[in-house]
Chain A
Amino acid sequence: KNQVEQSPQSLIILEGKNCTLQCNYTVSPFSNLRWYKQDTGRGPVSLTIMTFSENTKSNGRYTATLDADTKQSSLHITASQLSDSASYICVVSAEGTYKYIFGTGTRLKVLA
């Protein structure tokens, strides 16, 4: 069964600190992996998209990594800001389909 699991479920950090969110998947055959940021009451917004051949992709203070062999991805947030408080969702799509498998997300809270 195609699944995407994220950890931790929730995380609290102080402003300025770094953090890393994890995503494990069992989707096959793999097409691409996406990280989204979802603010409370809003729709998800894309942060990164990675294909099989990409190991790392950055978007400002967000850096995503992908290990296609172990089927793991991480999202690293550097020098966190209050505005980083949101849910971060990992999404994996299987090759040849229009369907995306969504993780349940990690809820991040950044405190001043």
Chain B
Amino acid sequence: NAGVTQTPKFQVLKTGQSMTLQCAQDMNHNSMYWYRQDPGMGLRLIYYSASEGTTDKGEVPNGYNVSRLNKREFSLRLESAAPSQTSVYFCASQPYGQVNTEAFFGQGTRLTVV
């Protein structure tokens, strides 16, 4: 049982390049999230998907797009990377987002934009 799997683990991009961060969970969870973690700050929500077929903006969505491909997969796309998007990105999943269920996080993707 792999839990939440993120790929890649590390990535270096040049300013203006695009890329997609992949996330997959094998726990049959309905809700999935993308966060970024920056030094000295708490995790901040970029986008979330309450259930398959729905996505909503979080606290810091600018510069990002998401796709809930199916129940298992939730991808995050940077269309034109900027140095301000240098961060560690975490994907998380939860059975249902609005009840007191445990959320599971992936290992993170460390992204550097130069």
- CB distance B103 to A103 under 8 Å? no
The closest CB in chain A to the CB of B94 belongs to A98
Tell me if B106 is interfacial: C-beta within 8 Å of chain A: yes
- CB distance B59 to A51 under 8 Å? no
The closest CB in chain B to the CB of A104 belongs to B42
Contacts of B35 in A (CB 8 A): 102
CB distance from A36 to the nearest CB of B (A): 8
Q: Interface 1/0s, chain A 61-102, versus B by CB < 8 A? A: 000000000000000000000000000010000001111111
A57 to B104, CA, bound (A): 19
Contacts of A44 in B (CB 8 A): 43, 90, 105
- CB distance B98 to A32 under 8 Å? no
Give the contacting residue for A99; candidates B42, B58, B105; CB below 8 A: B58
CB distance from A45 to the nearest CB of B (A): 7
- CB distance A98 to B31 under 8 Å? yes
CB distance from A25 to the nearest CB of B (A): 12
Query: Apart from A43-B108, A96-B98, A97-B98, what are 8 other A-B pairs with CB-CB below 8 Å?
Result: A41-B107, A41-B108, A44-B43, A49-B102, A98-B50, A98-B98, A102-B35, A104-B42
CB distance from A32 to the nearest CB of B (A): 5
- CB distance B4 to A46 under 8 Å? no
16 contacts across the A-B interface (CB closer than 8 A): A31-B98, A43-B4, A43-B105, A43-B107, A44-B90, A44-B105, A45-B105, A46-B104, A49-B101, A89-B43, A98-B31, A98-B56, A99-B58, A102-B35, A102-B43, A103-B42
Tell me if B41 is interfacial: C-beta within 8 Å of chain A: yes
